[in-house]
Structures are given as C-alpha cells and as structure tokens.
C-alpha cells in the first residue's frame, strides 16, 4: 500500500462519500488509487468548479466538503472557492498535488507555493513531507475544518510522498466534532439584566445560527421573546419567511421595516452575526440608540466592529436555551406592555411596507417571478450566484430554513451558483435544487453544464438575462453620473442553444403571458433544465442604502433622492455597570 492508497481508504473511514476534482501530473498517484475505489469522484470541468461544488455540498449538509486538484494552475484555480469557504465559514478539506520534495524551490514545472498562497484564506495549511505524517495531518485537517468556527483546510501533497510506502502506517482514526464550551454564568446573567431594561429590543440573527446547528433553539427563543427579528443574508430562514415576527433582511438591500426597527432600537440582541459592513451601512450611524448583547461562538467577532455591552461567548444552542425562560418571563414584567406595543408597531410597519408584486405591463418583473416560484417550490434549495438576482432572491424568496439558501456572502463570488448546485444535488439526490443565476455570473463557470449533463443531475437553472452586469450598471447609474462603463453584455450567446449543446433541456421566455406555463414545464422536467428569462436592463434592486450612509437613508428607485442627508444623532453609549442580576430566571 502506498500513501495515496492509504489516503483513499482514510477518506472513506472519515465518512467522506463524494469528492470533487480534476486530475493532473502532480496528483496522478492519488487518482490512480481512486481507480476502482468506492469513493465517488465527480469530475468537474474546472478546478474552481470543484471548490465551489465541495463548498455547496458542505453548505447544504453541514458536513465537510472535499476537493482535489493538481499542482500549479490546478491549485491556484481552487483558491477563489477556498476563500469563499473561509469568509463564509464553510468546512472543507482541499487536497492539492505538489512537485516532488526534491524539486521544491527549483521553479519546477507547475510548481507554486500554494501553502503560502492560501494561508490568508484557510484555517490551516499542511505541507506533507513524509508519508508517516499523513495520518496525523488528515485527522487534524478534518478536526480543524469542522470544529469551532468551521472553515477550509489545505493539504499540499508532494508527488513522491503520494507514492511512498504506507504499509506500516496505522489505521486512520476519524476526527470527532468537539462541542463548543458553554457560555459563562456572568455573561448570561448580565444579558438577562440588560434585556430587562429594554423597551424597544430587536433580535439580530446571523449565519452563526445555522453554523452552530442552533436553528431550533433560536426559534424557541424568538417565540418566547416575542420581539421583532431581523436577519442577515446568511441568517435568512432562521425564522420562516412568513413568521409574524420576521421583518426580513437588514442592510444595504434590506427591508425598510428591518432597517428602521434597528435604527430605533434601544437594544440589539445579536445572535451569530458579525456586524458586516453590508448589514450595518455607515457604522457610526448604525443603531445609534442601542446597547448590544452579542451571542457568538467565535471570540474574534465580539467587539470587532461594534462594542458589546454584554458578551455571551459559547455554544449558541445552549446559550439560547438558557436565556429563553428569562425572555419569556420578561414579557410579563414592567416593560412587557411597552415591548408588546413596540413589536406590534414593527410588525404593522412590515405589513404596510411589504413589497408589491402587481407589476404593470407585459415585461417580466423578477421579484414577482421569484416570489411566485418560491411558493411553487417551497422546499427547494436555492443556489444563488452574485448580482442583482442574488439580492432579489434574498428579498423575495420565502425561505423556511437557512440551508435552503446557498449564496456567496462575504466574498461575493460570481460563478458560485452552478457548481454549488452540483454539490448540493450530489449531497442529496432527492432534493429539489434550483440555481438562480444572471447572464454575467452564469458565464463565469458555464463549463459545469458538462458536469450536470454527465451525471444527469436534475438541477433547474433559472437564468435572468438583462444583457448587462446589472448591479454594476445600477451603481454607475446612481453614483457615477450614469457613465455605464464596460457593463454591456448585449452580445451574450443564445443561452437556449448553449444549454441544448450540452444536452440540457432549455426554454426562453420574455413576457408575463408565457411565464406560468414555462415555469410549470421547467419544474416538471425529468432531468436538468434551463429557463432563460429576459428582463429589463434598467430594473434595479430596491431599497438601497447608498455608500457611507446610515441604514435609515434608503433609496426606493429615484436617483434624485441622493441629496446629502444628515446622519441621525448618535447617542453616547451608556457605560454604567449592570448590577441587577436575575439568577432564578436563567434555566440550568
């Protein structure tokens, strides 16, 4: 047994059933070991597709995604997908071939320092110089990928190490996911005390809820608290879309109800969120009257962008369950009626300002189409590319759970959608997977249509075509005096013919009159299908918070609204010590 054969067996012992990759010279011994193995390898058509597919597999399941590439360009092509996993906390193990150890540092054919290149975008990098180190390296890679805050880990494997004798290597011991420590009593008591004083609190839900497998605990907490809830892009689905306390997404393209509630709040109960700049807008104008309770599993996020008056650091499910009886009891305490009135006001505002979908005229209105589609496919997992369509999906799709929404958040990587959909479909062949893409993003990884066709994955691709880089065009219209520089995509290919060339059923629709029948046929098709939808290039994503403005200064589609607006007065943060403790209100 050589080291490559040992590695294939160890991956199976780890519980890996699917890997995504593309072979080449420096990784060829590993591919030789794969031959005849029960480990399922998915041959993508570009290494970036492998990284995004492993990424989508991991996001959909919560398990570690695995991708493989050769040295040099194979390894560098993985980096965008690795960076996306790092910034969105996605567990991945990425294996790259490397030139033999004796040639390292000599500028050998297809040699790059992928160990060094990836260090800023991985939790850890390993360069394996001896076969004897492989058991400990693989165990540590999976442990690091899934424990604590998840993320990607790189294993760089020189070719001579891959073929080294492994007959004396010990059997692989799978890594175990270790539970996070529970929050300390002091933080929990301080949180309860601070909540007791609030009259207009808001719950601010982020992606850490699903990363920490805390969705059920969060829903119990929100129900007990009966407080308005706002969600980040990665937090969508933490409460079901139709839940009466759900005000929607906050931030640059958030709902008016969500942004105004945060701006008027006197307390933010932040659960697994990181105060991302797209969520906060201008930071010194964000929630100017609010004190902050920050619940998170990662100490690096506490106080990184906004100081926390109370930090509750630890495993989220436990923290939320411990706090739930207290917030339930506070509904009947001295501020209970004021809170109830505040919640009612926020929810009434959300109802009054809900999007309208009665779009006039014959053209297709993307928000209305996406809303209708989400109602027709309520259990679908949506893999979204980046651009205007991404924000329309976030605003108008009725998500029931965060794992239904796979989207490149912090990195904002175009080309994510189609390969991520491949990973999600292979993770659960019975799931309904919908890839929503734009004409710009789709062409970034269009070659993965070959992967969809090869494995006959029943992915449904919704392609919104405005013949432009729509988000860039919108910003150039608003903030660059309508100078539309290099955003014209009017020479797009015939997307229906393109999909058909890969053997994928495709149809095009341009008016509302034919849309319903086209969606029915597309969803009902037995196998992969593409629906090409022509939309207006001038259509924008609204509301929009301009750069360097507070979230209270939302635009609704009129560029003339861009006159300078004053920031709301920022109230100085109260620093008085919290002396009230309610130990009996915290569940043990």
Residues known to be catalytic: 47, 109-110, 159, 471
Distance of CA 82 to CAs 146, 159, 379, Å? 15, 22, 28
For residue 543, whether the previous peptide bond is cis, meaning omega lies within 30 degrees of 0, is yes
Task: Determine the Cα–Cα distance for residues 72 and 60; give it in Å rounded to an integer.
Answer: 29
Minimal CA–CA distance to 183: which of 321, 319, 324?
319
For the chain, counts of helices (H) and of strands (E): 22, 18
DSSP 3-state of 420: helix
Q: Which residues pair with 201 in a beta bridge?
A: 267
Contact between residue 62 and residue 213 where contact means Cβ atoms under 8 Å apart? yes
Per-residue tokens: 235: 């937090």
Dihedral, CA of residue 471, residue 473, residue 476 and residue 479, to nearest 10: -40
Pick from 90, 85, 43: which is nearest to 68 by CA? 43
Q: Could you tell me how many residues make up the chain? A: 588
Residue pair 121/83 in contact (Cβ under 8 Å)? The answer is: yes
β-sheet bridge partners, residue 268: 202, 292
Q: Name the residue among 395, 422, 420 with its Cα closest to residue 408.
A: 420
- For residue 128, which of 178, 78, 83, 166 has the smallest C-alpha distance? 166
Task: Please answer whether residues 267 and 194 qualify as being in contact, where contact means their C-beta atoms are separated by less than 8 angstroms.
Answer: yes
């Amino acid at each position: 047994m050589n080291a490559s054969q040992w590695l294939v067996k160890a991956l199976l012992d780890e519980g890996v059933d699917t890997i995504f990759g593309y072979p080449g010279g420096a990784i060829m011994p590993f591919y030789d070991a794969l031959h005849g193995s029960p480990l399922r390898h998915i041959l993508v058509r570009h290494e970036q597709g492998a990284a995004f597919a492993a990424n989508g597999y991991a996001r959909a399941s919560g398990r570690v995604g695995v991708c493989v590439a050769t040295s040099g360009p194979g390894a560098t092509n993985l980096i965008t997908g690795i960076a996306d996993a790092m910034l969105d906390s996605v567990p991945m193990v990425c294996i790259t071939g490397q030139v033999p150890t004796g040639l390292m540092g000599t500028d050998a054919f297809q040699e790059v320092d992928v160990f060094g290149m990836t260090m800023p975008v991985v939790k850890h990098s390993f360069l394996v110089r001896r076969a004897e180190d492989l058991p400990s390296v693989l165990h540590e890679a999976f442990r690091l990928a899934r424990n604590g805050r998840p993320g990607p880990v790189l294993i760089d494997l020189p070719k001579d190490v891959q073929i080294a004798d492994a007959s004396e290597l010990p059997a692989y011991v799978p890594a175990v996911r270790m539970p996070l420590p529970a929050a300390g009593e002091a933080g929990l008591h301080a949180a309860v005390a601070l909540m007791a004083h609030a009259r207009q609190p808001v719950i601010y839900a982020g992606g850490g809820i699903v990363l920490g497998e805390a969705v059920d605990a969060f829903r119990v907490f929100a129900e007990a608290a009966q407080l308005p809830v706002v969600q980040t892009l990665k937090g969508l689905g933490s409460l079901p879309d139709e839940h009466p306390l759900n005000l929607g997404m906050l931030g640059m393209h958030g709902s008016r109800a969500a942004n105004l509630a945060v701006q008027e709040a006197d307390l933010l109960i932040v659960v697994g969120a990181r105060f991302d700049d797209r969520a906060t807008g201008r930071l010194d104008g964000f929630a100017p009257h609010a004190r902050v309770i920050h619940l998170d599993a990662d100490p690096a996020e506490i106080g990184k962008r906004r100081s926390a008056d109370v930090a509750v650091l630890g495993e989220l499910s436990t923290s939320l369950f411990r706090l739930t009886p207290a917030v339930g009891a506070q509904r009947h305490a001295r501020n209970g009626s004021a809170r109830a009135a505040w919640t009612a006001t926020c929810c009434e505002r959300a109802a009054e300002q809900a999007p309208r979908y009665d779009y006039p005229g014959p053209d297709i209105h993307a928000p209305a189409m996406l809303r209708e589609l989400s109602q027709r496919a309520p259990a679908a997992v949506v893999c979204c590319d980046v651009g205007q369509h991404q924000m329309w999906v976030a605003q108008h799709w009725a998500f029931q759970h965060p794992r239904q929404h796979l989207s490149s958040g912090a990195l904002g990587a175009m080309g994510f959608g189609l390969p991520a959909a491949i990973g999600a479909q292979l993770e659960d062949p019975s799931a309904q997977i919908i890839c929503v893409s734009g004409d710009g993003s789709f062409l970034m990884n269009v070659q993965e249509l070959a992967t969809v066709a090869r494995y006959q994955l029943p992915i449904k691709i919704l392609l919104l075509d405005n013949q432009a880089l729509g988000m860039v065009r919108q910003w150039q219209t608003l903030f660059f005096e309508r100078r539309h520089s290099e955003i014209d995509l009017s020479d797009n290919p015939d997307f229906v013919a393109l999909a058909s060339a890969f053997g994928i059923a495709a149809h095009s629709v341009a008016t509302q009159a034919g849309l319903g029948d086209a969606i029915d046929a597309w969803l009902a098709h037995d196998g992969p299908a593409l629906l090409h939808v022509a939309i207006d290039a001038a259509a924008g994503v609204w509301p929009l918070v301009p750069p360097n403005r507070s979230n209270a200064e939302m635009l609704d589609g009129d560029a003339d609204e861009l006159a300078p607006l004053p920031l709301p007065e920022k109230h100085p943060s109260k620093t008085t010590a919290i002396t009230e403790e309610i130990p009996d209100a915290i569940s043990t």
